[in-house]
Structure formats: structure tokens, C-alpha cells
Chains A and B, each alone.
Chain A
Amino acid sequence: MKTFLVLGAGTAGTMIARKMAAHLDAREWKVVLVDKDEKHYYQPGFLFLPFGMYRAQDVIQPKRKFIPEKVEFIISGIERIEPDASRVKLTNGRTITYDHMVVATGVDIHPEETEGMLDGGWRTNVFDFYTFEGATALGKFLEKWQGGRMVVNVVENPIKCPVAPLELLFLADWWFTKRGMRNKVELVYATPLSGAFTKPIAADALGAMLKRKNIHVEPDFNIGMVDAGSNVIRSWDEREIPYDLLVTVPTNMGAEVIGRSGMGDEMNFVAVDKHTLQSQKWENVWVMGDANNIPTSKAGAVIHFQQETVVKNLLAHIAGKPITHKFDGHASCYIESGFNKGVLIDFNYDQEPLPGKYPLPVVGPFTLLGETTINHWGKLAFKTLYWNMMLQGIEVPLPNDFSMAGKKPTSSKSPAPQF
């Protein structure tokens, strides 16, 4: 019997384990899936928790519900991965030897990486919203808050879902307006980037939205420390921003087990071929989702787009055939912008986000880089799509490959560097 092992039963691991179990001959292959946690979190929903739009039951479901019987699901921590020996040691004492492995251990936040972040203020007036606990605690705080200066800070990049901090600000602007206290709240976005987003055309569009909503941007802000005693964040170049409420996106890093096992870079991301997602070092190891180092957004939608490539390549590789499918870095993000509106961006490795319509030219129905109500419904529909289609192996009717159809090329300000 051969073993197909999947590490991590989050978005990517759950999807690929199901697909591979459906494709591989059960008389020859056993598919094993390991995760330390019984709960599956719908992380995009964390954004809505602080504003009472979602509750726990919207974002948490038992992992087992999404794992077919054909897959052996083991609940245990992963102690160590030994890719040279094709072997994994679990914290429950078991050792698994695999023929092929997909690593999908995701990304976690590391507030301890920033001096002072965990001192005093943590979850008192300093919150993250990248965990269920953080987003829930922030919601409790906001219920009672009388106003003041709310600072949203990204510590360093990359982070998963890079537009989430902007969405939190847009929603905060809407929520405080709705409660009649927007005039008592100052909103500040302190980012290490030089603008609202990495890619220039989207950065301009999103920057204009921030301005319109009276959200102040402090660009090039690389945080050095949180001074919880005086409620100030300080950058390495000695700039200070006082806050009454600090919402932080702490350093995002790949799983610690990646670091312990010597498989990752300085952020515990595993190097892969960006078109095939196969490890650059071990030919029977593939890395999906947030855990790898590909230069596109770390997002659930990206996992959906990359899945077909990985399945086809894995099956070809197992059959001893050449790997021919290539993932293009396709990413698509709905950006919730408050007041029941949303913005959509769609891009890939080579093409930055452009204005236009998606997925079909002219008719859309979604508008790229423009604020519309239907984009907002797209964002909310993503939850249903996620729980009922993506995780259950039902085809989502969106093209995997990035397409220029419907997009309006503006003269790009920054052509990709030619290496």
C-alpha cells in the first residue's frame, strides 16, 4: 500500500486530500490527512466578526464534516518533517512514511516578533483580527468604545490576504458612521508600503478611496516597537503614532514545524517552483496554499485556482509522466469597502490589477477596481461558496486561468523587472 500524505487540514489540505482520494486507486493508495485542530476556521469571515456581522457559527465548523471517509484523518500535532527520508513524526508518537506529500500547514501570526506588542495592551487596547480569538476580542472592545484614534498597522510583509487591513478600515468607517460616532473616531493606516497596495494602479484606486473616506495613511512605516505604557507605536526611523486602539497585523510566518524541520526560508515559507508548486528540493513534496513562497497573494481564492494544476501534475508525476501544467499566479480578491459595497481585483504573476469587468467582458457581473453593491454580494457569497462548494469538492464556476478579457489596460506605471 502506498501513502499519499497531506499535512494541514485547512483550506488547501482539505481540498487536495479529497481530490487525490477521488483520483487515486484505493486498492493501491491510502490518503492520510493530519491536523492538530478539530475545528475548521473560515478565516475570511474574521473580518466581519468585530462588527457583529458574523458570529462564531459562521466561521467555525468541524473539520471532519469536509473530509470524505476514504481519507484517514489524524488529529495530532506534527513534530518534525524529514523529507530526505520521506518520513513525518507526529506529536502523538506515530511516524508516517509517505510516497508523496502535500504540505499545507498555512501561516500564523507572531506578535512576539515586535518588541512590546504583548506587553500590557495585548487584547486590552491592542488587537489582532487574524485569529478567531483576536477578532472576537476586538468586537467586544468596539461595542463599548467611545471613540478616539484607531490605528491599523501592518508590521511587515508578506501577510495573508494583503487587502484585509484595508477592508477592516473601510468597514470601521462604515460602522462608526452607522453608530453616529464617526466624528469621534480618527482612522489611521500605518503601512510599511509606500501606498495602499503593492501594485501601482490598484494602489492609486485604493489610495483615493482611503482619502475619500477620510482615513489617514502613514506610508513607509516600519514598526520597531509598541510602547504599551504610553500607547504609542514607534518606527525604526523614530516616527511615533499615538493610538487609543491599535489593530495590528503582526508578522505572518509559515508554520513552526517548517522551521524546525529546516524546510523553509527566514519566514518559514517553503521554496517551490512557482508554476508547478513542486518543492525545489524534494521531488515527492508539493506545497500548496499559504505555506509556499510563490509571489502571489496568500488567499483562499488562489488555492482554488492552483488546485487543478497541482492535481494534474501530481497524477502525471505519480504515473512517471512529465509535468506539464502551469499555474499562472491567478489571484482574485473581493475588497469589502463598507456601506454594502465592494471592490474586486484580479491579477496574476505578470499582470497587475486593472479596471474592467469580471469574469465576462462588459456584463461582468463584477466590476474590477470600482465600488459596487454586487461586488459586496460577491464577497458575502464567498462564505457559502467556501463551506458548500470549495471544501466539498464541488466545481466553482470561475475560470482557473487568469484572462485579460474584460480588463482595460491603462499604461502600466511599473513594468515587471526583467531578470
Chain B
Amino acid sequence: MTDLVNVALNAEGFMIDPNQWTKELAEILARQEGIDVLTPEHWQIIDFCRTTGLANGKAPTLRQITVGTGISIKDLFALYPKGPAKKVAKIAGLGKPEGCV
């Protein structure tokens, strides 16, 4: 699957079924979020979020990402400007990080 046509998204643009996700989709979703190229640093974070997100049934919060990857919050914002937790969750095909309910 190399485009978003057959991918179910919610109104906020998060994928509904994380099992539909592919690396190619991640590239497309990243471009929509204003990130043209996914570098290995970007991928390290996406991989972490995919693993913990699928294991826990929900996308990790900013604190979980910084603790889990050892990448500082400042650097996370440099890689994923504005809202790293939300952006990565979107690109990684996970739901919105809840944190707060």
C-alpha cells in the first residue's frame, strides 16, 4: 500500500487500524506533517513508539518517549517540531497519545 486512499483515518488524521501501517505510509504521513525526510534518528523514535504502542494498546506520551529512547525533549522537538508525541503517533500509525483522559 503506497497511498492513503485505502487507509482509515479519524477526523484528526490518526490511523484507526495500526495494522494497516507500513514504512511507506510513514513517509507519506511524515510529509503531511511537514517532515520531508525521515532520518535514522526519526526512525529510532518511530520504532520505539511502534513497539511500545502495540504492546500497551496506546501511543506513548512525550515523557515515555524521552525516558524510553534517551533522546532529550529538546531534541525530540527539533526532530518533530510542535508536538513530538502527537506527530510521531500519527506517523507511526498509532492513535492519539492519550496521557490525559
A297 at the interface (CB under 8 A from B): yes
Bound together, the chains give a CA A194 to CA B62 distance in angstroms of 14
Bound together, the chains give a CA A297 to CA B83 distance in angstroms of 23
Give chain B's interface secondary structure class. Answer: loop
Task: Count A/B pairs, Cβ under 8 Å.
Answer: 83
11 pairs, CB–CB < 8 Å, chain A vs chain B: A157-B99, A158-B100, A194-B86, A198-B101, A222-B77, A236-B74, A297-B101, A415-B10, A415-B16, A417-B94, A419-B58
A296 at the interface (CB under 8 A from B): yes
Bound together, the chains give a CA A156 to CA B67 distance in angstroms of 14
A183 at the interface (CB under 8 A from B): no
Bound together, the chains give a CA A156 to CA B101 distance in angstroms of 12
Bound together, the chains give a CA A306 to CA B86 distance in angstroms of 30
B interface residues, tally (CB under 8 Å)? 32
Expressed in whole angstroms, the minimum distance between the Cβ of B41 and any Cβ of chain A is 17
Bound together, the chains give a CA A237 to CA B74 distance in angstroms of 8
Q: Mark B1-13, 1 if CB is under 8 A from A, else 0.
A: 0000000001110
When the two chains form their complex, are residues B98 and A418 in contact, meaning their CB atoms are under 8 A apart?
no
When the two chains form their complex, are residues B77 and A236 in contact, meaning their CB atoms are under 8 A apart?
yes
User: Nearest residue in B to A414 (C-beta to C-beta)?
Assistant: B10
When the two chains form their complex, are residues A414 and B14 in contact, meaning their CB atoms are under 8 A apart?
yes
B51 at the interface (CB under 8 A from A): no
A220 at the interface (CB under 8 A from B): yes
Give the residues from 317 to 373 in chain A that come closer than 8 angstroms, CB to CB, to chain B. 331
Give the residues from 295 to 320 in chain A that come closer than 8 angstroms, CB to CB, to chain B. 295-297
A413 at the interface (CB under 8 A from B): yes
Bound together, the chains give a CA A157 to CA B61 distance in angstroms of 8
Residues of A within 8 A of B (CB): 156-159, 162, 192-194, 198-200, 220, 222, 224, 236-237, 265-267, 295-297, 331, 413-419
Expressed in whole angstroms, the minimum distance between the Cβ of B91 and any Cβ of chain A is 14
Q: Residues of B contacting A198 with CB < 8 Å? A: 98-101
Q: Mark B60-97, 1 if CB is under 8 A from A, else 0.
A: 01111001100001101100011100100000001110
B15 at the interface (CB under 8 A from A): yes
Expressed in whole angstroms, the minimum distance between the Cβ of A40 and any Cβ of chain B is 26
Given known A-B contacts A162-B101, A220-B82, A220-B83, A416 and B95 have beta carbons under 8 A apart: yes
When the two chains form their complex, are residues B98 and A413 in contact, meaning their CB atoms are under 8 A apart?
no
Q: Which of A159, A222, A415, A417 contacts B62 (CB 8 A)?
A: A222
When the two chains form their complex, are residues A157 and B100 in contact, meaning their CB atoms are under 8 A apart?
yes
When the two chains form their complex, are residues B58 and A295 in contact, meaning their CB atoms are under 8 A apart?
yes
Given known A-B contacts A156-B63, A220-B82, A417 and B100 have beta carbons under 8 A apart: no
Bound together, the chains give a CA A193 to CA B83 distance in angstroms of 9
User: Nearest residue in A to B96 (C-beta to C-beta)?
Assistant: A414
User: Nearest residue in A to B89 (C-beta to C-beta)?
Assistant: A417
Q: Residues of A contacting B73 with CB < 8 Å? A: 222, 224, 236
When the two chains form their complex, are residues B62 and A413 in contact, meaning their CB atoms are under 8 A apart?
no
